[in-house]
Amino acid sequence: MSPLATLILASCAVYGYVCIYYTLLATRRRRDQEYLAFGLLSGGLGLYAFSELLYVRSETIGEAIQAHRIGSVALLIVAAFLVDFVAALLQRRNRARLLVYLWAVTGLIALGLGLMWEPGEPLVGPFITLLPPIDAPAVRPTWIGLAYLATGALVPVAAGFLLTRDWRPRGINETSDSGAMGQRYRRVIVITLGIALLAGLHDTLVWAGLVRSFRILEHTTMVFIFGMSYMLLDRFVRASQALSERTSELGSAYDDLRAKQHRLVRKQQLAAVGELSAVVAHEVRNPLAVIKNAVSGLRRATLSPPDRATLLSILDEETGRLNRLMHDLLAYARPVLPQGRKLDAEELLRRAVERAMDAADSAEGIEVVWELEGPPHVHGDSELLRHALVNVLENAIQAMPGGGTLTVGTRPITLEGGHEGIGLSFRDTGEGMDTLVRDKARDPFFTTRPAGTGLGLAIVERVIRNHGGEVRIESSHGRGTEILLSLPTERLSQLPIPPPEGTSGGRLSGITEVKP
Residue 65 has pLDDT above 60, yes or no: yes
Q: Which of 95-99, 140-144, 293-297 reaches the highest mean pLDDT?
A: 293-297
Of 153-157, 259-263, 308-312, 434-438, which gets the smallest average pLDDT?
A: 153-157
Centre a 10 Å sphere on the Cβ of residue 475 and count the other Cβ atoms it contains: 23
Q: What are phi and psi of 404, to 5 degrees?
A: 165, -160
Contact indicator for 408, 425 with CB cutoff of 8 Å: yes
pLDDT band at 25 (very low <50, low <70, confident <90, very high): confident
How confident is the model over 457-477, as a mean pLDDT?
83
Q: For residue 368, which of 412, 423, 428, 422 has the smallest C-alpha distance?
A: 428
| 74-130: pLDDT as tens digits | 888 888 888 778 777 766 665 667 777 787 888 888 888 888 888 876 655 555 555
- In this prediction, residue 496 carries a pLDDT of 47
Domain 3-252 has CATH 1.20.1070: yes
Q: How far is CA 195 from CA 186, 191, 201, 221, 224, in A?
A: 14, 6, 10, 7, 8
Query: Are both 3-252 and 338-516 of the same fold?
Result: no
| 278-291: pLDDT as tens digits | 666 666 777 788 88
Residue 163 has pLDDT above 60, yes or no: no
- In this prediction, residue 469 carries a pLDDT of 86
Domain residue extents for the chain: 3-252, 338-516
- In this prediction, residue 162 carries a pLDDT of 60
Domain 338-516 has CATH 3.40.50.2300: no
- In this prediction, residue 476 carries a pLDDT of 78
% the chain with pLDDT above 90: 2
Residue 1 has pLDDT above 70, yes or no: no
Q: Which of 205-209, 316-320, 469-473, 509-513 reaches the highest mean pLDDT?
A: 469-473
Q: How far is CA 130 from CA 195, 196, 214, 220, in A?
A: 17, 18, 9, 16
- In this prediction, residue 160 carries a pLDDT of 59
pLDDT band at 20 (very low <50, low <70, confident <90, very high): very high
Between strands 128-129 and 211-212, the pairing is parallel
| pTM of model > 0.75 | no
- In this prediction, residue 504 carries a pLDDT of 39
% the chain with pLDDT above 70: 75
CA distance 330 to 335: 10
Q: Which residue has the higher pLDDT, 7 or 88?
A: 7
| Residues belonging to the chain | 516
